[in-house]
A and B are shown apart, each in its own frame.
Chain A
């Protein structure tokens, strides 16, 4: 396998989404299956064609998905447990499976009743009941033992410790965080599937929003949503001639910070998973940050997007704050990000919606949010204690 590269060996051939809301009125499984069947139909396939299933983040089991799709011969099943980094990391796993011939058509999916059933902001209230799927990880066990007794429960708190240090070291400001929120909200106005469509936001609105966890205000925090999204990955050879022009996976990688389970212990807090993953993905793709036409950055919080832009090399360490100002990350700017509204203003479906949007951009199907002549897109994931994933896609 020496010299083997995944570059362009696999393609995304189908995308599907549910409606995004605060109350789906459906089970989580039904949501996932709705997104899945839409992705399969979009690919011009039938459910029986799916022989690989990768549910992201443990919100559902591959068994539930496969049995409902009527899969006769499931050749590849994996669970990617990297929190919000799972969706993009699942593309890597899917690409490996189809490039090696282990499977033919791999379904990657993510979704939840993230508002009506399991709000991340209410994690603390579930500590003693089970913490749901999240408690299954050793990371959560460590948090329960060494941080929850001191009042640390939710992701906003985990990442706020990093953001405060970033502000201290580099002078990053709350208004700069706000520039990310404003850009996402602006883009959401163009997207009929965005939960925040019709609710525009100014930087003053951001600055006046209530403080949740210093330095994060309400509008620094992503939405909590019910919904699901899915994509189908096939080998490059099989991708040609389907319903849509294939979107090729040029480069893909995951990365994990050290130590992976403990933000506070890191000598360098900003050496995140993506810091390891990004050089690998760019090298595989044979492109540089300058070649990226549009980027869908995992924006669980405004600051995490800034940190990732630095880790990706779009700007230098510490310059992420100034980088996002002045419209650079808005449509029409140098690097439009989160053209669908992101987790901040479209919906939080664990970043699978970021992949769906990147595919739409490369198909030329992004309607009012279309980046003209977009040829290469980048999409990231961020999860758990800073795990990272990145995919570079081309049409």
Chain B
């Protein structure tokens, strides 16, 4: 952990609860308390109805690969040992989409529509990243 050399999220007022949920191994996504619309990225106001009323809903973390890419170059010093590596867009059952990685499949074994579920990767003392595995 000490030598973790990939970029880490810089947590903000809007996003703190998302990352604190991850630390507890819970996937918390903002849901408007007035119109029920989920939103991610976290934002202060509901883009659907402009409400400030929001709750952090714990969601299942199950979904499917909506699209993905394979980076054949690292593009950052922290990913030199990873390349080629895949980055996926996961569409969760609740309709929310997250950019993440798949931990248990090589890039060539990932496909659009692949069922996945969230896992929590405690990358440092302070940060836990939600990633996915095949389901």
Interface residues of A, Cβ cutoff 8 Å to B: 121, 123-125, 127-128, 141-142, 144-154, 157, 160-162, 164-165, 168, 210-215, 259, 261-262, 264-265, 269
In the complex the two chains form, what is the Cα distance from A145 to B98 in whole Å?
12
Residues of A within 8 A of B6 (CB): 149, 151
Report the minimal beta-carbon distance from B41 to chain A, rounded to whole angstroms: 5
Does B72 reach chain A (CB closer than 8 Å)?
yes
A121 to B15, CA, bound (A): 28
**Cross-chain contact of A151 among B8, B12, B85 (Cβ < 8 A):** B85
Q: Known contacts A128-B7, A145-B10; is A152 also within 8 Å of B99 by CB?
A: yes
Q: Does B69 contact A (CB under 8 A)?
A: yes
Q: Is B134 an interface residue (CB 8 A)?
A: no
A149-B7 contact in complex given A161-B67, A161-B89, A264-B89, C-beta closer than 8 Å: yes
Query: Nearest 8 pairs between A and B by C-beta?
Result: A124-B76, A214-B70, A165-B67, A124-B75, A160-B69, A153-B75, A148-B7, A145-B9
Q: Which residues of B contact A (CB under 8 A)?
A: 6-12, 15, 40-41, 47, 66-77, 79, 82, 85, 87, 89, 96-101, 107, 112, 123, 129, 131
Across-interface contacts of B77 in A (CB, < 8 A): 124-125
The verdict on A157 contacting B75 (CB below 8 Å), with A128-B7, A151-B82, A152-B87 known, is: yes
Residue pair B87, A150 in contact (C-beta under 8 Å): yes
Inter-chain CB contacts under 8 Å: number: 107
B47: min CB distance to chain A, Å? 7
Within the complex, what minimum Cβ distance (angstroms) separates A14 from chain B? 39
Q: Are A213 and B69 in contact (CB under 8 A)?
A: yes
Known contacts A145-B10, A264-B89; A150 and B69 CB within 8 A of each other: no
Extra inter-chain contacts (16) besides given A147-B87, A213-B69, CB under 8 Å: A124-B74, A124-B77, A124-B79, A141-B10, A144-B10, A145-B41, A146-B9, A146-B41, A149-B6, A151-B87, A160-B69, A164-B67, A165-B112, A211-B72, A265-B96, A269-B67
* Nearest CB in chain A: distance from B98 CB, A: 7
Q: Within the complex, what minimum Cβ distance (angstroms) separates A213 from chain B?
A: 5
Q: Check B9–A149 contact: CB distance below 8 A.
A: yes
B87 in contact with A265 (CB, 8 Å): no
Question: Closest residue to A158 on the B side, CB-wise?
Answer: B69
Q: Which residues of A contact B68 (CB under 8 A)?
A: 161, 164
Q: How far is the CA of A212 from the CA of B112 in the complex (A)?
A: 20
> Which residues from A are CB-within-8-Å of B131?
150
Give B7 Cβ to nearest chain A Cβ, in Å.
4
Which residues of the other chain, A, contact B101 by a CB distance below 8 angstroms? Answer: 150-151
Chain B residue numbers with a CB within 8 Å of A211 are: 70, 72
Query: What residues of chain A lie closer than 8 Å to B100, measured between beta carbons?
Result: 150
Decide: B69 and A142 in contact? CB cutoff 8 A: no
Determine the distance from Cα of A269 to Cα of B68 in the docked complex, in whole angstroms: 13
Report which of A123, A125, A168, A265 forms a contact with B97, defined as CB distance below 8 A: A265
Write the chain B residue with the least CB distance to A153.
B75
Contacts A147-B99, A150-B129, A264-B89 given; indicate if A161 touches B69 (C-beta within 8 A).
yes
Contact A165 B7 (CB under 8 A): no
B87 touches A149 (CB 8 A): no
Q: Which residue of A lies closest to B77 (CB)?
A: A125
Q: How far is the CB of B89 from chain A (nearest CB, A)?
A: 4
A sample of 30 inter-chain contacts (CB < 8 A) reads A124-B75, A125-B76, A127-B7, A127-B76, A141-B10, A145-B9, A145-B15, A148-B7, A149-B129, A151-B82, A151-B85, A153-B75, A153-B76, A157-B71, A160-B69, A164-B68, A164-B69, A164-B112, A168-B67, A212-B72, A213-B69, A213-B71, A214-B70, A215-B69, A259-B47, A261-B41, A262-B41, A264-B89, A265-B40, A269-B67
